Homo-oligomer: A and B are copies of this chain.
C-alpha cells in the first residue's frame, strides 16, 4: 500500500472546490501499473474541470485548497458533475513502481513511461500497461506531454488526409500544439496557414521554418489572410478559440478568395467547400457566424478521443510511434513554470495558468 497526495475538483452549491487529498494506492492488478508521477502538464483541456469559469480572483485560498464561486450559466450547465469529486489531469509521465501480474505490466517495472491516467495531478496513478509509452532515455519532463498535444496535432493532419485536403489553416497557431503542427506539416509537405496575434509569434513560427504566418493584429490582416489562402488553397482549418469571430473571419476570407476566381455572379456564393473545426474553447463567448459566405461551409467540433476511436488501433499505433521518435524534437513541449500540487492551488498560479497565454504552459511536479 502506497500513500500519496491527489488533487480533486468538486462542483456543488454554486461553488468549485479544488483540494489536495491524502489517499492510499493499493497494489495494481492484472494489466495495470502504478506510476509515481513526476511531471504532468496543465493543458487547456484540463481547465474544463480544474477551473472552468470559476471566479478565481475572489476565491478563498488556503494551503492545498481553493473554493471559488461558479457563475451561471456555467454552474447549471455542469449539472451532471454536481456533488461528484473528480480527479484532474489528463496526462503525465513518471516511473512504474508496481505492476499487475500480466507480462505486459511486469515488463514495465522500473521503467519511465508517459501515460493518460485522467488523474495525473497526483503523486501516484494507475495506468493500463497497453496505454503506457515507455520513454527509454527521455526524461519524465520531456515525456509529460506525449499524448494530448502531439496526438491532437497529428490528428489534424490525419483528419485532413482522410478528408482529401492538401492544405491546412490553424488559428492561435503559436501554441505548443501549433508549433508541433508547423513541424509536422513541414515533414509531410503540407502547406499550413498560421494565424497568430503578435509580432513575436510571427518571429517564433518563422524561426521554426513556417512559410505562411498571418498576424491578426496587423492593419492588413485580412488581406494577408486572403493572400495566404489563395497561395496555399487552405479552405480547411482548425481553431482552438471557439468564441467570437475567428471562424467567421476565416470563412469570409476563404469565400472571398473563391469568389475572386469566379467568372459569373452567383447569389449563393462560390461552390468552394469550406470547412473549419473547433477543437477548444479559449474564448467562452458564443461563436458568431455571419451570413457572408453562402451555404458551402461546414463547422464542426473536433475532439481527440472520438477521432482516435474512429481512426482505429493501427493508425493510433503509427501515430504513437511517430510521437515517441520525435519527443525531443517535433513534439517537444516547453513550460513557463513548475509547481507542486499545493503551489497549483495558490491564487498566483491558478489565476495565471487559467489565462492559457501562448508559450506560458505550467508543469505540475507532484513530488517536488
Q: Is the CB of B259 within 8 A of A80?
A: yes
The CA-CA distance from A298 to B248 in the complex, in Å, is 15
Partner of A302, one of B45, B287, B288, B295: B295
Asked if A262 lies at the interface with its beta carbon under 8 angstroms from chain B, I say: yes
Within 8 Å of chain B (Cβ to Cβ): is A297?
yes
A291 within 8 A of B: yes
Q: What residues of chain B lie closer than 8 Å to A45, measured between beta carbons? A: 267
Q: From residue 265 to 286 of chain A, which have CB atoms closer than 8 A to chain B?
A: 265, 267-268, 271, 278-279, 281, 284, 286
Instruction: Check B300 against A299 for contact (C-beta < 8 Å).
Output: yes
- Which residues of A in the span 17-51 have a Cβ within 8 Å of any Cβ on B? 45, 48-49
Residues of B within 8 A of A297 (CB): 300-301
- Smallest beta-carbon distance A233→chain B, Å: 19
B265 x A86 contact (CB < 8 A): yes
Integer count of this chain's copies in the complex: 2
Interface 1/0 per residue, A205-224 and B, CB below 8 Å: 00000000000000000000
Residue interface mask A96-139, B partner, CB < 8 A = 1: 00000000000000000000000000000000000000000000
Binding site for B on A (CB under 8 A): 45, 48-49, 73, 77, 80-81, 84, 86, 242-243, 248, 259, 262, 265, 267-268, 271, 278-279, 281, 284, 286-292, 294-303, 305-306
Known interface pairs A81-B267, A294-B303; 13 further A-B residue pairs with C-beta atoms within 8 A, sorted by A's residue number: A80-B265, A242-B291, A248-B286, A286-B291, A287-B288, A287-B290, A288-B288, A289-B289, A295-B302, A295-B303, A298-B299, A298-B301, A299-B299
